[in-house]
Amino acid sequence: MRGVTLWTSGEIASATGGLASTEFTVSGVTFDSREVGPGDLFLALGGETTDGHRFLDQAFAQGAAGAVVSRDTAHPNVRVDDTTAALDALGRASRARMAGKVVGVTGSVGKTGTKEALFAALDRSDPGCAHRSVKSYNNHTGVPLSLARMPRDTRFGVFEMGMNHAGELAQLTRLVRPHVALVTTIAPAHMGFFASEEAIADAKGEIFQGLEPGGTAIIPFDSPHRERLIAAARPHAGRIVTFGLHDGADFRAVERMRVRTGGTFVTARFDARELSFTLSQPGEHWVSNAMAILAAVDAVGGDLEMAGLALAEMGGLAGRGQRFLAQLPGGEALVIDESYNANPASMRATLAVLAHEPGRKLAVLGEMRELGDHSNAFHAELAEPIVAAGVEHAILVGDAMRTLAKALEGRVEFVHVPDAATARERLNAVLAPGDAVLVKGSNGVRLSTVVAALAERAMA
**Over the stretch 6-49, which tens digit does the pLDDT of each residue have?**
999 999 999 999 999 999 999 999 999 999 999 999 999 987 77
Give yes or no for residue 459 having a pLDDT over 70: no
Give yes or no for residue 333 having a pLDDT over 70: yes
pLDDT (tens digit per residue) in 371-389:
988 899 999 999 999 999 9
pLDDT (tens digit per residue) in 260-293:
878 899 999 999 999 999 999 988 999 999 999 9
For 448, residues 6+ apart whose C-beta sits below 8 A from its C-beta are 319, 337, 339, 340
Residues of the chain with pLDDT > 90: what percent? Answer: 85
So what's the pLDDT on residue 458? 72
N-term to C-term CA, the chain: 33
Give yes or no for residue 460 having a pLDDT over 60: no
Confidence of residue 321 (pLDDT cuts 50, 70, 90): confident
Bridge partner list, 275: 268
CB neighbourhood size of 19 (10 A): 11
Is there a contact between 161 and 106 (Cβ–Cβ < 8 Å)? Answer: yes
So what's the pLDDT on residue 332? 95
Give yes or no for residue 54 having a pLDDT over 90: yes
pLDDT (tens digit per residue) in 401-447:
999 999 999 999 999 999 999 999 999 999 999 999 999 999 999 99
So what's the pLDDT on residue 72? 94
User: Which amino acid would we find at residue 91?
Assistant: G
Confidence of residue 317 (pLDDT cuts 50, 70, 90): confident
Confidence of residue 2 (pLDDT cuts 50, 70, 90): low
User: Which amino acid would we find at residue 5?
Assistant: T
So what's the pLDDT on residue 3? 62
Task: Please state, in angstroms and rounded to a whole number, the distance separating the CA atoms of residues 274 and 295.
Answer: 12
So what's the pLDDT on residue 426? 96
So what's the pLDDT on residue 275? 97
pLDDT (tens digit per residue) in 167-223:
999 999 999 999 999 999 998 877 778 889 999 999 999 999 999 999 999 999 999
CB neighbourhood size of 53 (10 A): 17
Bridge partner list, 77: 67
Give yes or no for residue 1 having a pLDDT over 70: no
Give yes or no for residue 350 having a pLDDT over 70: yes
Can you tell me the mean pLDDT for 236-262? 94
Give yes or no for residue 98 having a pLDDT over 60: yes
C-alpha radius of gyration, the chain, whole number: 23
Using alpha carbons, select from 427, 284, 449 the residue that is nearest to residue 363: 427
Structural domains in the chain, CATH included, are 7-81 (3.40.1390.10), 98-313 (3.40.1190.10), 322-459 (3.90.190.20)
Task: Please state, in angstroms and rounded to a whole number, the distance separating the CA atoms of residues 23 and 8.
Answer: 7
Q: Cα separations (Å) of 377 from 333, 344, 445?
A: 32, 10, 19
Pairing of strands 25-26, 7-8: antiparallel
So what's the pLDDT on residue 364? 98
Task: Please state, in angstroms and rounded to a whole number, the distance separating the CA atoms of residues 113 and 316.
Answer: 9
Task: Please state, in angstroms and rounded to a whole number, the distance separating the CA atoms of residues 372 and 147.
Answer: 33
So what's the pLDDT on residue 150? 97
What 3-state DSSP class applies to 257?
strand
Is there a contact between 435 and 362 (Cβ–Cβ < 8 Å)? Answer: yes
Can you tell me the mean pLDDT for 132-158? 93
Average pLDDT, the chain: 94
Residue 317 backbone dihedrals phi, psi, to 5 degrees: -95, 145
Task: Please state, in angstroms and rounded to a whole number, the distance separating the CA atoms of residues 191 and 262.
Answer: 32
